[in-house]
């Protein structure tokens, strides 16, 4: 999947008004995910995404590797996406689900299974819910 296609899918699934909003939601979600995933897994995931998108996962390794693999739950995950994106917390949760649904579509099922396994159940729900807006936080 190419960068433009990835961002277009995020924009569509998250029902965002602009590509800039989709870029912001993608960056906020993947930087937060990069803080939560173990370092090697974040790198493997980044390698399967368009370069510009994968860099958001790598950013936590390069600039704050201490935080990689941090342990936090759903509330903290959504709060971090909210702070980074500027969206309200409910919007941040919805946008994160949309971004992660596109990530799921753009990467191998085996790798996404490892991502899910590395997350606590409540955060895993973001990956499994998809971008339909059916799950509320």
Range of the domain at 31: 3-129
Domain count, the chain: 1
| % pLDDT > 70, the chain | 87
Q: Rounded to whole angstroms, how far apart are CA atoms 79 and 7?
A: 22
pLDDT in tens, 80-99: 999 999 999 999 999 999 99
The answer to whether residue 137 is domain-embedded is no
User: How far is the C-alpha of 99 from the C-alpha of 122, rounded, in Å?
Assistant: 17
Reported as a pLDDT band with limits 50, 70 and 90, residue 130 is low
Residue 30: count of CB within 10 angstroms of its CB: 29
- Compute the average pLDDT of residues 17-30: 97
pTM: 0.88
Which two tokens mark 86? 């500027």
- The answer to whether residue 136 is domain-embedded is no
Whether 105 has a pLDDT exceeding 60, the answer reads yes
Mean pLDDT of 30-49: 92
């Amino acid at each position: 999947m190419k960068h433009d296609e990835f961002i277009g899918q995020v924009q569509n699934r998250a029902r965002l008004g602009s590509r800039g909003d989709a870029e912001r939601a993608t960056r906020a979600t993947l930087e937060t995910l990069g803080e939560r995933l173990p370092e090697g897994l974040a790198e493997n995931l980044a390698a399967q995404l368009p370069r510009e998108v994968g860099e958001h996962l790598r950013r936590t390794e390069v600039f704050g590797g201490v935080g990689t693999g941090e342990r936090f739950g759903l509330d903290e995950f959504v709060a971090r996406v909210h702070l980074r994106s500027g969206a309200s917390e409910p919007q941040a949760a919805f946008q994160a689900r949309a971004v992660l649904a596109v990530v799921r579509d753009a990467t191998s099922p085996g790798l996404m299974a490892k991502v899910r396994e590395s997350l606590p159940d409540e955060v895993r729900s973001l990956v499994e819910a998809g971008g339909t807006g059916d799950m509320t936080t």
